[in-house]
């Protein structure tokens, strides 16, 4: 290989490394300035990396790690791959609603919230990532119960507020409604004054493997339950189709 070819590989690798280690997407100009490359050279190398799926651009043109990293993650950490695939969807939902948006997966007998976009409002911004929440009190958990991602409990249910469902029979009736509507709701069942809506995300085999939810104060959410539910169903259905298509392409 010529010295020029080696130099091009080194420059491209430097650009790739900067993007992978960055906390947020970087523009072509930022990358050129960081590396000292001419902007035309940086742009040419970035486009080559993008063509090979090593980089991709977000909605504002910033560069972030590309789909090839997701393929690797699917094989080694499925949750990271799911979060990566869901991120644009979470951002769209947050922009449309202004409320806190969470992405959760089943874990053991509970729900693990693995990604969040904060509310644009001062009231209602709470970081739920890593917080253990009884599934029967959360819209995300009800989704998992309704579609078999978690086993429905058989014993007494913990009462968190006066609005919490504490009987399995009442929960089962609620889960029938979840399956009929396509989304779950809670009204002050985890905390008084906190409402939430959530819908399922399906994997390559059609089984529910995650859920996306919107939560916030009752005075903002209560009148928008149906609107948010319809939005979530549309977005999670599209994400589920994308996940299935990506899995088929990988297996092809």
Q: Do residues 101 and 177 lie in contact, with contact meaning Cβ atoms separated by under 8 Å? A: no
Q: List the domains of the chain with CATH numbers.
A: 3-65 (1.10.10.10), 77-251 (3.30.450.40)
| Cα-based torsion angle of the residue sequence 57, 63, 64, 65 in order, rounded to the nearest 10 degrees | 90
pLDDT in tens, 169-190: 999 999 999 999 999 999 999 9
Tell me the sheet residues that pair with 198: 184, 213
The Cβ of residue 92 has, within 10 Å, a number of other Cβ atoms equal to 16
* CA distance linking residue 37 with residue 57, whole number of Å: 19
Collect all residues with Cβ–Cβ distance below 8 Å to 53 and sequence separation of at least 6. Answer: 66, 67, 68
- Distance between CA atoms of residues 218 and 227, nearest Å: 14
- The structure tokens listed for 110 are 């509970």
Q: Over its length of 252 residues, how does the chain's per-residue pLDDT go in tens digits?
A: 444 668 889 999 999 999 988 888 999 999 999 999 999 999 999 999 999 989 999 888 999 998 887 666 555 556 777 888 889 999 999 999 999 999 999 988 888 888 899 888 765 556 666 667 889 999 999 999 999 999 999 888 989 999 999 999 999 999 999 999 999 999 999 999 999 999 999 987 889 999 999 999 999 998 899 999 999 999 999 999 887 765 544 444
How many CA atoms lie within 13 Å of 205's alpha carbon, on the beta-carbon side? 4
Residue recorded with tokens 């948006």: 101
CA torsion sign for 67, 197, 179, 234 is negative
**What does the pLDDT read at residue 132?**
75
Q: Tokens 């997966």 identify what position?
A: 105
Place of tokens 């579609």: 147
């Amino acid at each position: 290989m010529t010295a020029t070819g080696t130099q091009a590989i080194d420059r491209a690798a430097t650009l790739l490394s900067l993007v992978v280690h960055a906390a947020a997407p970087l523009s072509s100009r930022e990358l050129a300035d960081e590396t000292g490359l001419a902007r035309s050279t940086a742009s040419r190398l970035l486009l080559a990396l993008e063509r090979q799926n090593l980089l991709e651009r977000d909605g504002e043109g910033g560069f972030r790690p590309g789909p090839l990293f997701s393929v690797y993650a699917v094989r080694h950490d499925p949750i990271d791959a799911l979060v990566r695939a869901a991120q644009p969807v979470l951002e769209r939902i947050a922009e449309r609603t202004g409320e806190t948006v969470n992405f959760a997966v089943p874990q053991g007998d509970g729900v693990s919230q693995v990604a969040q976009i904060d509310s644009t409002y001062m009231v209602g911004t709470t970081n739920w990532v890593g917080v253990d929440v009884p599934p029967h009190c959360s819209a995300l958990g009800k989704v998992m119960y309704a579609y078999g991602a978690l086993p429905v409990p058989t014993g007494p249910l913990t009462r968190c507020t006066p609005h919490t469902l504490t009987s399995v029979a009442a929960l089962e009736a609620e889960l029938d409604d979840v399956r009929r509507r396509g989304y779950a709701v809670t009204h002050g069942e985890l905390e008084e004054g906190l409402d939430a809506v959530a819908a399922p995300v399906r994997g390559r085999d059609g089984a529910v493997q995650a859920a996306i939810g919107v939560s916030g104060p009752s005075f903002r959410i209560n009148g928008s339950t149906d609107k948010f539910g319809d939005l979530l169903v549309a977005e999670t259905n599209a994400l589920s189709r994308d996940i299935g298509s990506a899995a088929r392409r990988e297996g092809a």
